[in-house]
Amino acid sequence: MPEPQGPLQSPGFWLHHAALEWRATVERNLRPLGLTLTQFNLLASAGWLARHGDLPTQQQVVDMAGADRMMGSRVIRALADRGLLTRIADPADARILRIEATAAGKDVARRGIQLVVDTDAEIFGPDSADLTERLQSIAAQRIPNLDHD
């Protein structure tokens, strides 16, 4: 077993701090839209999932966004209160909520997505395909069966 070299030789250490910097920058860039990163992730996930099938369930949106179930539920409710999402009882099972972005939600999501794309390019550079591919292979363990298009 290799001898520990300290945190400065650990990719996990650098990934953690890079993620903190990315998150802080994205949060700052999303602020003019009135969104936190968690709100953005849930709103964008709802739209992305709806593009690829039926209206997603609240749980599918929460899972896609990587949010905690209770936190996701509260944030989705707040986004619905702001008129960015609607929560619709599933006709087959009223315990299941289907999530749909409103026209205003789609517009805010579109603008947020562009901000995040620009932030990614700023932080990771214009050619980050290798990094993206490596991170996808690691994260796929958390979100299996995710289509990477």
pTM recorded for the entire structure = 0.88
> Mean pLDDT for each consecutive 10-residue tract of the chain (149 residues)?
79 92 97 97 96 91 94 98 96 94 98 96 90 88 62
* CB-count burial class (<10 Å; 0-12, 13-18, 19+) for 92: exposed
Residue ranges and CATH numbers for the domains of the chain are 34-139 (1.10.10.10)
DSSP code string of 77-115: HHHHHTTSEEEEEETTEEEEEEEEE-HHHHHHHHHHHHH
In the prediction, which pLDDT does 18 show? Answer: 93
Q: Is the dihedral of CA 129, 133, 136, 138 positive or negative?
A: negative
